[in-house]
Chain A
């Protein structure tokens, strides 16, 4: 099956693709030309994401086009036009201004998927403050860490999320000057929490007009946190110039056309949900579906049919859950308006690509990118043949390669100082030539970790891959201990630290275990302090405590006791060995293993 090719030709459900031929586009594409397709701020005042995403449409013929169709949990919907979104986000910018939030300061959003979140995101960008979105399934600890590391001065959330996740950590965040709550007071307590402000009334009182100040393309716009093998999550800095990538990838990799109804199922708390849930579709002036509900197979099919979605960007886990729900369910719905399906988050297995073709009537286009790249880097395109299981070929304007590793597992550098590229079909590290507009510009307050991402003139992704003779890239695995679960990166250190908060736990080692639905699931191994004995009750207590701190998205799904965690001689837990033993894989090089005592 891996060698099957899904051939492409001609028109796609009556629409000519933006990119008729990959090779031709690649030969002629330049980022400067993509940049010229945007408007820029009036009077040469620079480039601002919010202007491209909403203001220019609100002041032109698309003013009354629906920008957002917001579907609430309760089954009703609200349409927000570009003109209305412009006005709402102006009010947000004025509120931030009134509170004394300055350009460059960080505003965090911890909000459900609804119109308010979009207004807050765009209003923050208009005000030239920096937007840092958080996922609502995070527990208090990941939220505290990110607000702290990101130097958040304002947080926008709901009364219920505030009570569940923020109130308990508020006193640990002295730099957080403002907490703005959007929505009704929490039914469970029925009063407004202390030291918070009511966003709704502030918005009502604010002016509906706002003029974006001068913004240089290199001004910081977004701060997205991502997890590494060690240490706390890093805040990847993105600038306003990233909108050039969001525009170009929306056009070429997602094939967005002005009349599309587009649905990105990712939560804006993750980079996909911001770059492709908020910015890219709005820059293209299309109608975006904003669905507050969580995954449910029937609800998703209903949404695709009822809203006549034409371009759909989703994730492997969701597609595999739809597959599990059965072909019969898919066939109850008319998905005839769908024209293009793309997927990102973890490698898409070939079975799902082919299932898309056979059951949904459209093959699924996997693509690859990460928080640091800010936008799609390698993709399968509407007009290019698909090799199921491959992430595709680099975006026009992006130079990607696979770099060879030396015997120590380091990037091999030649005598000329340049990194050595791997041969065809040889495994190595997926790397990109710096210079695309949405490349991260640093990790906040951590220049050393940023520098470590580059070698021999390339950005190193940390993902292992190979490239076939025709230039298609194939994902092989992570080059480090970071876990990819349900499309999200989870840092083992973050999970281990939370487990070790519990008095029973002496040490913890956290790994990813392959899972047919989620790609990998987080599994923890813990050793206990003297005086504690392994029991099912204790295991569940640790699981519950980790979930309360970290939230369901990050916490382990399974915990096992192990009093003999493997260590290096320097005392670090060898996660690689833990994983090899769990999965029955060869143990590899164990020369640094501490000898058993």
Chain B
């Protein structure tokens, strides 16, 4: 998966959960939850959505990596 593909995937998974959220509003160091006003349930649904879309199990221990945009993009692009 390329960086662009990863960002697009994040957008499409996020849209039904938080349609008002714009990934471009998130500063590099910020977490998605902070920047986009997601609660922990939204975030859980986001991770579940990514797992379904990629067909990869995303274990809890990886949630912290996925919490930021850059971390999430890096995570998705590293999936084989």
Using a CB–CB distance below 8 Å, which chain A residues touch chain B? Answer: 73, 137, 139, 164, 187-188, 294-299, 317, 321, 325-326, 329, 486, 517-518, 540-541, 543-545, 547-548, 551-553, 557
- In residues 15-47 of chain B, which contact A (Cβ within 8 Å)? 15-16, 18-21, 27, 31, 33-34, 37-44
Q: Does B4 contact A (CB under 8 A)?
A: no
- In residues 39-80 of chain B, which contact A (Cβ within 8 Å)? 39-44, 60-61, 63-64
Known: A296-B60, A321-B44, A552-B39; 10 extra A-B contacts, CB below 8 A, are: A164-B37, A188-B27, A294-B43, A295-B40, A298-B64, A299-B64, A541-B19, A545-B20, A547-B20, A552-B37
Contact partner, A296, options B16, B34, B64, Cβ 8 Å: B64
Interchain CB contact under 8 A, A552 and B64: no
* Given known contacts A137-B37, A294-B33, A295-B40, A544 and B20 CB-to-CB distance under 8 angstroms: yes
Contact count A vs B, C-beta below 8 Å:
60
Using a CB–CB distance below 8 Å, which chain B residues touch chain A? Answer: 15-16, 18-21, 27, 31, 33-34, 37-44, 60-61, 63-64
Give every chain A residue within 8 A of B44 (Cβ-Cβ).
321
Interchain CB contact under 8 A, B40 and A298: no
Give every chain B residue within 8 A of A139 (Cβ-Cβ).
37
Interchain CB contact under 8 A, B39 and A540: no
Interchain CB contact under 8 A, B37 and A298: no
Interchain CB contact under 8 A, A294 and B40: yes
Interchain CB contact under 8 A, A551 and B37: yes
Interchain CB contact under 8 A, A518 and B15: no
Q: Can you give 20 A-B contacts (C-beta < 8 A)? A: A73-B31, A137-B39, A188-B27, A294-B33, A294-B39, A295-B40, A296-B60, A296-B63, A296-B64, A297-B63, A321-B40, A517-B41, A540-B19, A544-B18, A544-B19, A544-B20, A552-B18, A552-B37, A552-B38, A552-B41
Give every chain A residue within 8 A of B40 (Cβ-Cβ).
294-296, 321
Interchain CB contact under 8 A, A540 and B15: yes
Give every chain B residue within 8 A of A299 (Cβ-Cβ).
64
Interchain CB contact under 8 A, A298 and B60: yes
Docked Cα-Cα span, A188 to B35, in Å, equals 11
Docked Cα-Cα span, A317 to B41, in Å, equals 10
Interchain CB contact under 8 A, A325 and B18: no
Identify the closest chain B residue to A318 (Cβ): B40
Docked Cα-Cα span, A137 to B16, in Å, equals 19
Docked Cα-Cα span, A321 to B39, in Å, equals 14
Interchain CB contact under 8 A, B63 and A518: no
Docked Cα-Cα span, A296 to B44, in Å, equals 9
Give the Cβ gap from A504 to chain B, nearest Cβ, in Å.
Answer: 14
Docked Cα-Cα span, A95 to B19, in Å, equals 41
Docked Cα-Cα span, A298 to B38, in Å, equals 19
Docked Cα-Cα span, A327 to B41, in Å, equals 20
Q: Which interface residue of A187, A518, A543 has the most chain B CB atoms within 10 A?
A: A543
Docked Cα-Cα span, A543 to B18, in Å, equals 8
Docked Cα-Cα span, A296 to B31, in Å, equals 13
Docked Cα-Cα span, A321 to B34, in Å, equals 20
Docked Cα-Cα span, A321 to B27, in Å, equals 28
Give every chain A residue within 8 A of B33 (Cβ-Cβ).
294
Interchain CB contact under 8 A, A329 and B41: no
Docked Cα-Cα span, A73 to B15, in Å, equals 26
Interchain CB contact under 8 A, B19 and A552: no
Docked Cα-Cα span, A486 to B27, in Å, equals 29
Interchain CB contact under 8 A, B60 and A329: yes
Contact partner, B27, options A164, A187, A540, A551, Cβ 8 Å: A187
Give every chain B residue within 8 A of A164 (Cβ-Cβ).
37
Give the Cβ gap from A559 to chain B, nearest Cβ, in Å.
Answer: 10
Docked Cα-Cα span, A396 to B56, in Å, equals 52
Give every chain B residue within 8 A of A517 (Cβ-Cβ).
41
Interchain CB contact under 8 A, B60 and A297: yes
Interchain CB contact under 8 A, A553 and B64: no
Docked Cα-Cα span, A73 to B41, in Å, equals 18
Identify the closest chain B residue to A187 (Cβ): B27
Give the Cβ gap from A270 to chain B, nearest Cβ, in Å.
Answer: 13
Give every chain B residue within 8 A of A540 (Cβ-Cβ).
15-16, 19
Docked Cα-Cα span, A408 to B61, in Å, equals 53
Identify the closest chain B residue to A326 (Cβ): B60
Docked Cα-Cα span, A350 to B42, in Å, equals 26
Interchain CB contact under 8 A, A518 and B41: yes
Give the Cβ gap from B9 to chain A, nearest Cβ, in Å.
Answer: 17
Docked Cα-Cα span, A449 to B51, in Å, equals 48
Give every chain A residue within 8 A of B38 (Cβ-Cβ).
552
Docked Cα-Cα span, A73 to B38, in Å, equals 15
